[in-house]
Amino acid sequence: ATLVPLLARAAPAVRPLIAARSPSRSVAMSAKGKGKKGGDAKDAKDGYGGEASVGKATGGQTSADALTAAALKEAGISVILGSKSFTRQAILKEMGIPYEVAVADIDEKAIGDRTDSPKDLVMAIAVAKADAIVRKMGAELGPDMDGQWPIAEDAMLVTCDQVVVHDGVVREKPESKDEAREFIRGYGVSAPSTVGAIVVTDLETGGRCVALDRSTVTFAPIPEETVEFLVQEGECMNCAGGLMVEHPKMAPLVTELDGAMDSIMGLGKRVVGGLLMEALLDRKLKGLSGGIKKEFIPEDQRVEKS
């Protein structure tokens, strides 16, 4: 995948830590590491197999994933995933990173320009999600917390957004079954690309590490019965562009992949792992607990400062 580092450091006023206040980590959160579709592929037959389909497509936990998970655990840093996407939750769980979920509840359609740069659009939405969740958490702490830090001690927030670009047109989640059919049929004619943004916010300092991730996948012609199966099953309606490359009906049709499967699925493990490690490095530079030295970050996970 193409990693486009856009390291952004927020510079908010950092309030002194108030020993009597415990960190807030409960805004619209679900149980740790649980998704809503944890089915097994053998139970789903030819359909979407939940975590089993995700794991088969991404290849399971890598050594870099394990290193990131271990570094976060050693540092005592908790992770909040600002997404209700089952696939993103399954990928983070596969990396071995415990998490809780917070939902931004924003109108994504009101953000950005769909006719302009896809990378600007996804970054604007991912940042807006982070801002919305931070505001929610701040509101729980009190009205004087608007624009103030820390929101939570020893916690990082991960927010994401993704669109599919096909024949130069930005595609988001299908708005109807007919639109989903049109989208999926087209992927067997010309290759779609995914453009995603990932933002990691340190909820103690407000510091942010961000990056873009782009991948392209080429399919063989997609049979009409496969198109109809996917649309009637309905899971594709929850995915950008209706694209489910990990689906048992679609995975065998992949003929070429430029990038990473997990990137196409909505959360590139190399990218989010690198950003989390970069955020830990940032804490080290600021003299905070939980920091790490740069030499502990794998070469392929490092995000160069711009």
pLDDT in tens, 273-306: 999 999 999 888 887 766 555 555 555 555 544 3
- Rounded mean pLDDT, 181-209: 95
161 confidence band (pLDDT: 50, 70, 90)? very high
Specify whether the CB–CB gap between 296 and 277 falls below 8 A: yes
Specify whether the CB–CB gap between 157 and 126 falls below 8 A: no
3-state secondary structure of 251: helix
Q: Where are the beta strands (DSSP E) in 55-190?
A: 78-81, 99-101, 148-149, 155-166, 169-171
Q: Would you please indicate which residues are annotated as catalytic (active-site) residues?
A: 161
Q: How far apart are the first and last CA of the chain?
A: 19
pTM score over 0.75: yes
pLDDT of 197-211, one tens digit each? 999 999 998 999 999
Q: Give the side-chain half-sphere CA count within 13 A for 247.
A: 23
| Residues composing the chain | 306
User: Which is more confidently placed, 295 or 81?
Assistant: 81
Helices (H), the chain: 41-44, 51-58, 63-75, 86-94, 118-141, 177-187, 224-233, 261-264, 269-285
- Rounded mean pLDDT, 254-276: 94
Mean pLDDT of the chain: 80
Q: Phi, psi (5° rounding) for residue 109?
A: -65, -20
Q: Which of 204, 203, 166, 169 is nearest to 185 (CA)?
A: 166
d(Cα 109, Cα 107) in Å, to the nearest integer?
5
Q: Which two tokens stand for residue 212?
A: 């873009």
Beta bridge partners of 79: 99, 156
